[in-house]
Amino acid sequence: MALAKLGAIVLDCPDPEALARFYAGVLGGTVEVEQGGRWVDLHTPTGQTVAFQQAPGFVPPKWPTADASQQFHLDLTVDDLDEAERRILALGAKPLDTDAPGRTWRVYADPAGHPFCLCAC
């Protein structure tokens, strides 16, 4: 029996509402701004909540380096890597590692610098 259930995945960032809207464009869902904008929830269509917390002095992770670890990343499953890439770049993502031919995943950074992967299903 599980000890707990996952309530939310929380990302530190300088602008919670802007980052929540980026991920709403990627994952769908509704954005709920709380605490005067210092905390924002994204309620996704799958029922999972992704939250964004204002972090003054936020320093984005560097990918890939050992001295500024990414600490974690999101794997987002898509049907068409090329189409998904086009759409996330239009939303403001930055490519980090996308050039390996035949690989079934690509690495990007969200607008706050958090790495995430698009993975073909």
pLDDT at 90: 96
| The pLDDT of residue 68 is above 70 | no
Q: Domain limits of the chain?
A: 1-57, 59-121
For residue 67, the model assigns a pLDDT of: 73
| pLDDT for the residue 92 | 97
Q: Which of 90, 92, 89, 119 is nearest to 103 (CA)?
A: 119
What's residue 70's pLDDT?
Answer: 64
Cβ-based burial of 106 (10 A; exposed 0-12, middle 13-18, buried ≥19): buried
Domains 1-57 and 59-121 share a fold: yes
**CATH homologous superfamily for the domain 59-121:** 2,3-Dihydroxybiphenyl 1,2-Dioxygenase, domain 1 (3.10.180.10)
Taking only the tens place, the pLDDT of each residue in 82-111 is: 999 999 999 999 999 998 888 899 999 999
| Mean predicted lDDT score pLDDT of the chain | 90
pTM above 0.85, yes or no: yes
The domain 1-57 is classified under which CATH number: 3.10.180.10, 3.90.800.10, 2.60.40.420, 3.60.110.10? 3.10.180.10
CA 26 to the chain's CA centroid: 8
In degrees and rounded to multiples of 5, residue 53 shows phi and psi of -120, 130
Please state at what angle helix 16-27 crosses helix 81-91, rounded to 10 degrees. 160
